[in-house]
Structure 1
Amino acid sequence: METLVEKQILVSIIVPVYKVERYLSICIEDIRAQSYSFLEIILVNDGSPDGSASICDAYAAKDNRIKVIHQENAGVSVARNVGLDHATGDYIAFVDSDDRIHHLFIELLLQHIGTHKLIYCGYDLFDQDAEVNPMDLLSIPAEPAQIDNDPLGKLVDVLQILYVVPWNKLYAKSLFEKVRYPVGKVHEDEYVIHELLSQVQTAVHLKIPLYYYRRRQGSITADATNQQGYRYKTEAIYLRRNFFKSIGRETDFITLNTALLKRFMLPTIKNDDKIWSKVSFADLFKENHLSLPVRLLLALKKMCYPLYTWLAKTGKRFMRGAD
C-alpha cells in the first residue's frame, strides 16, 4: 500500500513567533521530530525583540524544510496570514511557538482525515514552567476516530473551545482560499471559525490529546484585560450570530442571539459599546426566548446605566435570579 509520504501529501505547519526565545527551540524540535516528515515548516518572526529571530535562522540553516519569514511586528493574525500566503502544502496546521506537540501529531491526523477537509484532536494544558514530555502525556488509549456530521453546529455553544482554537486541527488548504484572520483582534480565531466550518459538511474527531498548550503569563491572550477580551469575544459572537442568520440557520441564530444578549448584562459592557449600542428596545422585547426579568434589566441598562450598575452591585441575588 502506498504510504502518505509516497503520495506526496505535503503538510505546511505555520508557527507565529514573538518573544518566545525561552520556549522556541523545544517547539521547533517537536515539529522536526514528527514521525511524518514530509513537512513545510514556516516560522513567521513577527518582529520579536528577543533572540527568537536568530533561533529561527539557525534552525533554517540545518533543516531545509524550514522557511523563515521576518516581518515588522504586526500581531499574530498577520503572522498567520503571511504563513498562509506562503504555504504550499496540501494541508495546513498551526502550532503556537511556546506549545508542544506529540511526535505522532501530524501522522495520526493525516491518517484519519480520509476525504474530509478537517480533523481535530484533543489537547492538554500545562503550566508555564512545567517540565513536559509529550511522549509521557499520551497515556490514555486512543478512541476510534468519530465522524462529526455538523461541526458548524457546535459553534452555537459559545464555550466550545475545542472547535474554535486553530492549533489542534489539520485543515485542507482550500478552506483558507477566501479566509484570513482579522488584524488587531484578541481571540482572532473566534472571528473566522464559522467561515471555515461552513465549508465542511463533516469533520473527523480524534479523541486523543496530541497537542499541549502552555499556559503562561505574557502571552497575547493573557495580556488582554478581562474587559477587553470579553468585548472581543462578544463581537465575535455577534458576527457568528449574523452569519447563522445569513445562511438560514434560524434556530441557531436565535440561540446565539439569546446568549449574546445575556452577555450584555455584564455592567462593564457600557452603553457606548459598539455592539450593545446597536441593540434597540424593540430587539429586547421581540426576543421572547429571554425571561422577562432579563429583558427588563437590559432595558433599564439602556435607559439608565448608573442605576443599572448600582443594582448590579447591590442586588446580586436579584441579578442571578433574572437569569
Structure 2
Amino acid sequence: MQSSFVTASPTQFYTWQNYRCAYEVHQPNNSHPQGIPLLLIHPIGVGLSRQFWQKFCREWYQTGHQNQIYNPDLLGCGESDMPHVAYTPNDWAEQLHYFLQKVVQKPVIVLVQGALLSIAIKLVQKEPNLIHSLIFAGPPAWATITKQSPVWQQKLAWNLFDSPFGNAFYRYARTPKFLRSFSTRQLFASSDTVDSEWLNTLVMGAKNTANRYAVFSFLSGFWRQNYSSEIASITQPTLVVVGEQASSISREGKAETPDERLADYLVCLPQGRGIKLTGRNVLPYESTVEFVAAIAPFIDEVAYSSS
C-alpha cells in the first residue's frame, strides 16, 4: 500500500563484496526532505526484510515528518542476494558501513528493531562520524545482550539448522499457521494486531527458501555476545523504546520486567533516555501510531541541538 504522503524510490541496488544489495529511499511527497535522514535496520526472521518498516514509513509521513528514510535489505533478506553462509552481526555491520559511506554519505539517525541492535552496536564502532544518534526499538533483555554464547554452541546449532532437518523446519515455519502462532506467542501483545498485512508480507518474503540462511544464523546465536562495554562506549544520544508487555524468548531474560530492562540500558548508555509504550516486542509495527509519536520529539530535539 502506497500512501499519498510518501514517495518511495523503486528498489535500488549497490554491490558490496560482489553481492547485490537492495534498498529503497523514502521521502515526503511534494516537498523536500528536511532534518537528519533515518537509517532503518529491519529484524531477522522468517520472511522478514525491509518491508517490516513500510507501516512505520507511512505513519511517519502522514503525521507531517519530512526526514528522508533509507531502508536497506540486509544480505540474505528481501531483494538482496542470499548466499549460503553463516552471517554474523559484524558481517551485516560491514555491509551497512559500506552503504553509509558509498550511498548515504551523510550522518543518519539509526533506528533498529530488536536483537539487530547487535548490528547497530558494531556499526557505530566502525563509523561513529556518520551515526548522529540511535533509537533502539524493543531491544533484547539486558541479561541476553550482555551474555556471551559459547562459540561451540553457536556452531553446533548452525550445523543442525544447515541440514535437511533445517530445510524441512523452514518450510514448515513459513506457513501462515506457524507464522500466526509464533507472532501471537512471542511478538505481539494482542492477537488482533497480527493482521493480514503482517502475515502476507512474511509469507511472500519466505517464498525464497535461501532466506533461511540469515534466519538460521540468527537462531544459532551468532549475535549473542557480551555487548555491555560497547554499549557503554556509545556517546551519541540514544533513545530506548520498550513495550509495556515486553518479553524475552531466552531463559536468562524471562524474569526481567520492562522497567528493569529500560533501567539497565539507561544506566549503561552515556546519553541514554527511555520510554515505555503500549505493546510487546515489535513496536514499530504493532503500535505504529504510538511509536512514531514517541520517537518524533527525540528526533526533533537531537536535530535541533546539532544545528
Using CA pairs under 8 Å that are at least 6 residues apart, name the structure with larger relative contact order, 1 or 2: 2
Q: Which has the larger radius of gyration?
A: 1
**TM-score, normalised relative to structure 1:** 0.29
